[in-house]
Amino acid sequence: MKKWLALVLTATLLAALFAAPAAAESTDLVKILASTPELTAGESSQSPTAQELDDAIEAGSELIPEGCKLTPGRVTLLYTQDLSCEREVYDVSFKVWSSLNRTVGLFFRAEGEDSWKLVACCQGDVIEGRFETAGTCAIVVGW
């Protein structure tokens, strides 16, 4: 009985040690992988609503490749970020952790605009966008 209890306690302790670093990184699911020089990325004050995302998916359905699951009502918002750049046109690549076999969508709402637009959609953990103005980007995962 003592051996069994010692084994259970050891397993619990090891699980707690390995879970702590994973929990600490869970808020960092999306990172900027590469970008045009002079890019400024800051905390976003606005996030798209579920209805705004659904409308953007429907309007941009031609950007969704075959085999990708980006369906209205079946997305989870992971990330929003305000973007701006001194250049007229700028590119940004995002690394989306834990999405290797999932559909990822990149949305953008330009400053002064009312609606969100689907910019890119892919299956994998890297998604790229090209932007021509400052605004807010949002990254979702389809399910």
**Average pLDDT over all residues of the chain:** 87
What's 67's DSSP letter? T
What is the distance between the alpha carbons of residues 15 and 82, in angstroms, rounded to a whole number? 37
pLDDT confidence band for 28 (50 / 70 / 90)? confident
Q: Provide the pLDDT for residue 120.
A: 98
Please count the other Cβ atoms lying within 10 Å of the Cβ belonging to residue 135: 19
- Please check whether residue 106 is in contact with residue 43, taking contact to mean a CB–CB distance below 8 angstroms: no
Cα–Cα distances in Å, from 78 out to 48, 62, 82?
A: 11, 23, 14
Residue 39 has phi, psi (to 5 degrees) of -70, 135
Q: Return the exposure string of 22-58: e unless at least 16 CB atoms fall within 10 Å of the residue's CB, then b.
A: eeeeeeeebeeeebeeebeeeebeeebeeebbbbbbe
What is the distance between the alpha carbons of residues 108 and 52, in angstroms, rounded to a whole number? 11
Q: Provide the pLDDT for residue 18.
A: 44
What's 138's DSSP letter? E
Average pLDDT over every residue of 80-85: 97
Lowest mean pLDDT: which of 2-6, 34-38, 96-100? 2-6
Q: Provide the pLDDT for residue 2.
A: 64
What is the distance between the alpha carbons of residues 138 and 74, in angstroms, rounded to a whole number? 15
Kindly list the structural domains of the chain, giving each domain's residue range(s) and its CATH number in brackets, ordered by start.
29-142 (2.60.40)
Average pLDDT over every residue of 106-123: 97
Its pTM surpasses 0.95: no
Average pLDDT over every residue of 9-36: 60
